[in-house]
Structures are given as structure tokens and as C-alpha cells.
């Protein structure tokens, strides 16, 4: 089997937060790579720094030290506006609490990130319809988030995450607010996105069952990357 190219390279990354006069280290000297098409689970106890690491990779936070190179671009050197543009093109976000806009329909929520592209209205509609078809919610396109179950809302959120065809999907506890059955559906959907569409997925989770769906698991504890083992091939 030929080795895939490294899509993300994290080198000697440090991150700390200030609480009053105290400087609390969150990540210490983190170095690792993520291959293109990887499905990575980041595990660890609360406060271990996994969400912080995810935020750094997604370009919504900056490290104190170190570099993060994504597809050849050092995102730590980008300005806020450059980062916003970069995120719009390269990153799809899946949140624990879905974070859909309650006053927009499922269709409009999925269409939202496409407004930042140069697509025509017709092209946007085609792309949204396709995304909703993939998550099996075509018949719910005109429903508002409040009219959908938790699982359905998360599927809409996933459609919103990949509708722009980003390279990387980042998911922070995507099943944390769902029952077991809905969680299974979401994880299966993410697996399909990884296998069929080749999306690189980085998922933060507490749930060992969810982590089992990933092909690789990294564990963080007190800001240090302890283990790196194959979960499933």
C-alpha cells in the first residue's frame, strides 16, 4: 500500500490560556502529521486540549508557538481575514450542538457557506440539493431546525459542512448531544464522507464507540500527545 501525502503537518505547537495572572498551558510541544483522506479521532479527558488542538488545525485559533501547515500553507502566518477566507474554502465544521440558524430552513442553512463562493444561484441550488440528498434529507429541505430531530439537525449541519467541498471536515463531539441510534447514523454518514468522497476528517470525541469509527486515534492528556495507535484498518 502506497503512503499517502501528509495533508496537515503540526510542528512543535504550544498553546496556553491566561486566567488572570496565571498562564495555563494547554498544549505542549505537539508534533504530528495527518495524511490526506485520514479519519482521525482525538480523544482525551475534559481539559486535555483536544478541542484547542482542533481549533488550531481549523484556523479558528492561533498557537503561541510552532507551525501548522495545511496542504502546503502555513496557516499560523495568515491574518484574520486571510484565515476567514481560507476556512471558507478548506474547512467544514460540525459542532456538538449543530449551530444551525433557527430562522433559516434546512436548505437555506446548507446554502449559507455557498454565499461566500462565486457560484450562481442555480449552481448553489444544485449543490445544496445534492448535499441534502447525500445526508438523506431532501424531503425536509423546507423545514426549520426547530421542526427537525437532533439527528436530522446534525445531518443538516454535516451537509452544510461539506457543501463547499472542503478538504478537511472538523467535528467537535458530533454525537455528544445525540441518542445512540442517531449517533450511529451520524458516524456512518461521516465514514461515508471519508470513504466515498475522500474527505479528511478530524473528530474530537469522548466516546470510545465513536472513536472506533475512525481509522486513527490520538490521545491527549494535559496537553501532551501520549499515544498514537491504529484503531481500525
Cell numbers 473528530 correspond to: 203
39 contributes a contact to other proteins by CB under 8 A: no
CA angle 205, 62, 53 (to 5 degrees): 20
58 contributes a contact to other proteins by CB under 8 A: yes
Reduce the DSSP state of residue 150 to 3 states and report it.
helix
Edge to edge, the sheet with strand 200-204 lists 91-94, 168-172, 200-204, 39-43, 216-221, 224-230
| Residues ≥6 apart with Cβ < 8 Å to 74 | 67, 68
Q: How many residues interact with other proteins (rule CB under 8 A)?
A: 30
Strands (E) in the chain, as ranges, are 6-19, 22-35, 39-43, 65-70, 73-74, 91-94, 168-172, 200-204, 216-221, 224-230
Smaller CB distance to other proteins: residue 93 or 216? 93
Residue 87 CA to residue 160 CA, distance in Å, equals 13
47 contributes a contact to other proteins by CB under 8 A: no
Cell numbers 478548506 correspond to: 90
195 contributes a contact to other proteins by CB under 8 A: no
Per CB under 8 A, which region of 65-73, 80-88, 185-193, 198-206 contacts other proteins?
A: 80-88
- Selected from 25, 47, 86, 138, the binder of other proteins by CB under 8 A is 86
Smaller CB distance to other proteins: residue 99 or 209? 99
64 contributes a contact to other proteins by CB under 8 A: no
**Contacts with other proteins in 87-126 (CB under 8 A)?**
87-89, 91, 93, 95-97, 99, 101-104, 108, 111-113, 115-116
**Contacts with other proteins in 166-185 (CB under 8 A)?**
172
52 contributes a contact to other proteins by CB under 8 A: yes
55 contributes a contact to other proteins by CB under 8 A: yes
- Selected from 28, 61, 71, 221, the binder of other proteins by CB under 8 A is 61
| Residues ≥6 apart with Cβ < 8 Å to 232 | 212, 213, 214, 215
Cell numbers 467541498 correspond to: 165
Contact residues toward other proteins (CB under 8 A) are 52, 55, 58, 60-61, 81, 84-89, 91, 93, 95-97, 99, 101-104, 108, 111-113, 115-116, 160, 172
Amino acid at each position: 500500500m502506497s503512503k499517502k501525502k501528509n495533508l496537515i503537518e503540526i510542528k512543535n505547537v504550544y498553546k496556553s490560556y491566561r486566567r488572570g495572572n496565571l498562564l495555563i498551558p494547554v498544549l505542549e510541544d505537539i508534533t504530528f502529521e495527518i495524511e490526506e483522506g485520514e479519519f482521525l479521532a482525538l480523544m482525551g479527558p475534559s481539559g486535555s486540549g483536544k478541542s484547542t488542538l482542533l481549533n488550531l488545525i481549523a484556523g479558528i485559533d492561533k498557537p503561541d508557538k510552532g507551525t501548522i501547515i495545511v496542504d502546503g500553507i502555513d496557516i499560523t502566518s495568515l491574518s484574520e481575514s486571510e484565515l476567514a477566507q481560507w476556512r471558507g474554502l478548506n474547512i467544514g465544521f460540525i459542532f456538538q450542538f449543530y449551530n444551525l440558524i433557527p430562522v433559516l430552513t434546512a436548505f437555506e442553512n446548507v446554502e449559507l457557506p455557498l454565499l461566500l463562493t462565486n457560484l450562481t444561484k442555480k449552481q448553489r441550488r444544485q449543490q445544496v440539493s445534492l448535499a441534502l440528498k447525500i445526508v438523506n434529507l431532501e424531503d425536509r429541505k423546507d423545514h426549520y431546525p426547530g421542526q427537525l430531530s437532533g439527528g436530522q439537525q446534525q445531518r443538516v449541519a454535516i451537509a452544510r459542512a461539506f457543501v463547499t467541498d472542503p478538504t478537511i471536515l472538523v467535528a467537535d463531539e458530533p454525537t455528544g448531544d445525540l441518542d445512540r441510534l442517531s449517533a450511529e447514523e451520524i458516524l456512518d454518514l461521516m465514514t461515508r464522507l471519508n470513504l466515498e468522497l475522500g474527505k479528511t476528517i478530524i473528530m474530537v470525541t469522548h466516546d470510545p464507540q465513536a472513536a472506533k469509527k475512525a481509522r486513527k486515534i490520538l490521545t491527549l492528556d494535559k496537553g501532551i500527545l501520549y499515544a498514537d495507535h491504529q484503531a481500525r484498518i
